[in-house]
Structure 1
Amino acid sequence: MARLKRFTKSLAIAAALSLVATGTVACGADTESGEVALRYSWWGNAERADLMQQAIDLFEEQNPGITVTPSFQEYEAYWQKLTTETAGGNMPDVLQMDFSYLREYADRGVLGGLDEHVGTDLVLDDLLAGFDGAGAVDDTLYAVPVGGNTWSMFYNPALFEQAGVPTPVIGWTWEDYHSAMATIKAETGTYGGGNYTGVIYNLEAQLRQEGGALFTEDGRLGFSKERLARFWQQGMDLIEQDVVLPVETAVQIKPASLWVDDLAASDLSWDNFLTRYAGETDTEIRLGPVPSNNPGQLGQYLKPAMLLSTSAGTEHPAAAARLISFMINDPEVGRIFGGNRGLPATNAQRDAAELDGPLAAVAAYEETIADQLTQAPPAPPRGAGSIEAAFIRISEELHYGRIGVAEAADQLFAEAEEILEP
């Protein structure tokens, strides 16, 4: 039934898109002057470049009069080039945007507002519910998700079964998880999990489960020192019980994960990492919901893996919006990319994408918890990435035993005050 509803909805979206493609929907001044040339920049590799060119060829075929010139770099080089282009007033018409940079670029006034194009050149009716408004900053839409993922539990079902521990389900509390890790270590000799308190997104999950957030609307930390100390104390208790992977081992194996050599039975991360983990071990890994002490709130949401934006200085804002709409809605584009850009953000493209292996498992998992996913938080403030890096570094010092919980919390807040200064 759910697939039938998505199919019916996809037909409606396809009809709307056909009006856009044939020019029935107004495209403002973009088409009055004849040929329109758009520059489209994104990050990726040669494989994605080939797929992107196929999608662009299809767009140009269905939108005569609009030509698209693509440009791509690897991730770091992409942002370096975009910084230079922005400073020189030469941004591309359409650009790939990272959720962590969205607010920074929006606040600088260099991204084009998309609200006026919604319903005409930009069709958003088929976005997955969790993506509604995900590209907005201060009530203005500046970006549209291309794909996304959600924070999740990863676990080794064989070790859980060997230890006689139930597999993770909705309703599992954090205390249940702690108990499961202890039992797995006692019964199998394998560590029950990684020390989740070294990752800021696990703190975010707990805060959202309590009705809170990682950051406030004005870009400050959304939690107190006391709440952070309670979170980090959970990790220290697990270390004392010797049930989580020691920090020495976790640091030593980087950049590999704890799934190498089956070092632990569980971990928490973004669900699309299943593809990476499956390449590190032959052991079966499954996905489950994040533990929660609030039965009605998992704290999970769909985070945009990447988004598309327009430049505030584009001479063809309607045509740029039309390109974005095509790239997120067209079923054939979904078939072309599959999971290359993350799991598609619209139902039509998810249905069209030919997924197999880990990506198919991720898609199936997300369907099982779709009604539990809540609205994504606002785009993080500028400096959020530096806060995450500081969190990792300070928590490692804590787990090594070089500093105490209170000192660690003081240190993070001191650094956050400098990083997040207005």
Structure 2
Amino acid sequence: MKRFSMLVAGSAALACLGALLTGCGSGDSESGPTTLRYSWWGNAERADLMKQAIALFESRNPNIRITPSFQEYEAYWQKMATETAGGNAPDVLQMDFSYLREYADRGVLYDLKKQTGGNLVLDDLLPGFRGAGEVDGALYGVPVGGNTWSMYYNPALFARAGAPEPAAGWTWQDYRTSLARITEATDSYGGGNYTGIIYNLEVRLRQQGGQLFTADGKLGFSREQLAAFWTEGQELIRAGVVLPVEKALQIKPRSGFVDDLIASELGWDNFLVRYAAEVKTPLKLAPVPTDNPGQLGQYLKPAMLLSASSRTEHPDAAAKLISFLVNDPEVGRIFGGNRGLPATNAQRAAAQLQGPLAEVAAYEKSIADQLTKAPPAPPKGAGSVEATFVRISEELGYGRIPVAKAVDEFFAEAEQKLAS
């Protein structure tokens, strides 16, 4: 830490009052070592990997020292809420995409566009990640890794039923036909009830040119669109071709792939690591069905981002650390897929991915030209909206509520949560 006299430190503290949005300090031009506080969430394994990455950064930047801090996910956000409320945020912090807008709107985060092209290099980001950390024209986070929505399927079960494997260009009706054929010809259900997952609604909306949330933080779809989506789910339930909700809840936290209960599912592609451990026969990945050729509705979602505090006294050094952790090939080799598939080409090439993660990387590469720009960071309350969607979907699955009432309840609750 720079050595200030008590008088200078007191003056600096006074100068920082009211500077929440612009940050304090003129940069990192002073001589002497600089200390950055850096916080992230993760387990002991990630902490060990981070120690290696930090040591490498410090060896290449001898005038910058890092004070690390990490907690498990829930504890991390509890601590971050306390620190940011007290104006004591770390200089560099790991950010979840779902919290990005909330923290940006509170003035907690530094606009990294001020460092772009200098201390912060973004030229090597995969195209789908460019701009993913922007809010209202400012850059508040840089992705370090991510994933995309996808179709999982068990090729052995598809073959046993005589159903064609999912492929580019297949439609939602093609998928529903396969669900029925597999259920009829095997002891497995064709798949899970995809209408109970809000991200399947999102991908459907994006295929139609719509969105889940508007840029100003409201619901981006109509009651009629939701009613049609949930009605589709009711038809699948009545046909008996999707895993019943009671069985899905009974086996949690395991997926429907356990014991070949289902032959397919839609989810984030990095779940392949988890699913692969639950099945006896290998699973494959395929693009999401679409009724609009050329519009998969898929995008690269940041698994996590790196942000800087708006109150950091060392924005130059903070940007250097973020740039290093995102771009350096050796960091990519150290972490592999621990932070999600790396967000830059250089780190993906260096990550030495194996097994399911290598399959995920190959899959993303195969559809890279069809992935579109990520939506704006979700508004505050989006997580509660998703929880409401799941709860009401389960009520529909049990047959306890008609679609019309379910739609009314969802909109009433969701709009209230987004407005609060």
Same fold (TM over 0.5): yes
What is the CA-CA distance between 1:355 and the residue it aligns to? 0.7
SS of 2:415's partner is helix
The CA deviation string for residues 132-190 of structure 1, in whole angstroms up to 9 with x for no partner, is 10000011000000000000000000011111111111111101100011011111131
Alignment match of 1:234 (pick from 232, 235, 240): 232
What is the CA-CA distance between 1:50 and the residue it aligns to? 0.5
* Same amino acid, percent of matched pairs: 72
Q: Give the corresponding residue for 2:141.
A: 143
Alignment match of 1:274 (pick from 272, 275, 279): 272
Determine if the alignment matches structure 1 residue 398 to structure 2 residue 396: yes
Q: Give the corresponding residue for 1:86.
A: 84
SS of 1:328's partner is helix
Q: Give the corresponding residue for 2:126.
A: 128
Determine if the alignment matches structure 1 residue 56 to structure 2 residue 54: yes
CA contact (8 A) 1:31 1:65 kept: no
Higher alpha-carbon deviation: 129-138 or 255-264: 255-264
SS of 2:255's partner is coil
SS of 2:39's partner is strand
Q: Give the corresponding residue for 1:7.
A: none
Aligned partner letter, 1:107: D
What is the CA-CA distance between 1:31 and the residue it aligns to? 4.2
Number of aligned pairs?
395
- Paired residues for 1:325-364 under 5 Å: 325-364=323-362
Alignment match of 1:172 (pick from 170, 177, 187): 170
Determine if the alignment matches structure 1 residue 251 to structure 2 residue 249: yes
- Paired residues for 1:199-214 under 5 Å: 199-214=197-212
In 2: Cα distance, 1:270 partner to 1:96 partner = 20
In 1: Cα distance, 2:203 partner to 2:161 partner = 27
- The gaps in structure 2 that reach 5 residues or longer are 1-25
Q: Give the corresponding residue for 1:194.
A: 192
- Paired residues for 1:376-387 under 5 Å: 376-387=374-385
Q: Give the corresponding residue for 1:306.
A: 304
In 2: Cα distance, 1:390 partner to 1:324 partner = 35
In 2: Cα distance, 1:92 partner to 1:262 partner = 46
Q: Give the corresponding residue for 2:294.
A: 296
What is the CA-CA distance between 1:245 and the residue it aligns to? 0.4
SS of 1:30's partner is coil
What is the CA-CA distance between 1:280 and the residue it aligns to? 1.7
What TM-score do the two structures reach when normalised by structure 1?
0.93
The CA deviation string for residues 34-82 of structure 1, in whole angstroms up to 9 with x for no partner, is 2100000000011000100000000000011000011000000000000
Aligned partner letter, 2:272: L
What is the CA-CA distance between 1:283 and the residue it aligns to? 2.1
What TM-score do the two structures reach when normalised by structure 2?
0.93
Alignment match of 2:93 (pick from 70, 92, 95): 95
Q: Give the corresponding residue for 1:45.
A: 43
What is the CA-CA distance between 1:251 and the residue it aligns to? 1.0
In 2: Cα distance, 1:306 partner to 1:29 partner = 26
Aligned partner letter, 1:285: L
In 2: Cα distance, 1:391 partner to 1:29 partner = 45
CA contact (8 A) 2:194 2:265 kept: yes
The CA deviation string for residues 307-353 of structure 1, in whole angstroms up to 9 with x for no partner, is 00000000000110110000000000000000000000000000000
What is the CA-CA distance between 1:278 and the residue it aligns to? 1.2
Aligned partner letter, 1:146: V
Q: Give the corresponding residue for 2:285.
A: 287
Q: Give the corresponding residue for 1:14.
A: none
In 2: Cα distance, 1:60 partner to 1:31 partner = 18
SS of 1:95's partner is strand
SS of 1:276's partner is helix
In 1: Cα distance, 2:183 partner to 2:73 partner = 39
In 2: Cα distance, 1:373 partner to 1:400 partner = 35
CA contact (8 A) 1:170 1:295 kept: no
Aligned partner letter, 2:248: A
Q: Give the corresponding residue for 1:317.
A: 315
CA contact (8 A) 1:151 1:270 kept: yes
SS of 2:374's partner is coil
In 1: Cα distance, 2:409 partner to 2:343 partner = 38
What is the CA-CA distance between 1:84 and the residue it aligns to? 0.7
What is the CA-CA distance between 1:124 and the residue it aligns to? 0.1
Q: Give the corresponding residue for 2:373.
A: 375
SS of 2:419's partner is coil
CA contact (8 A) 2:27 2:315 kept: no
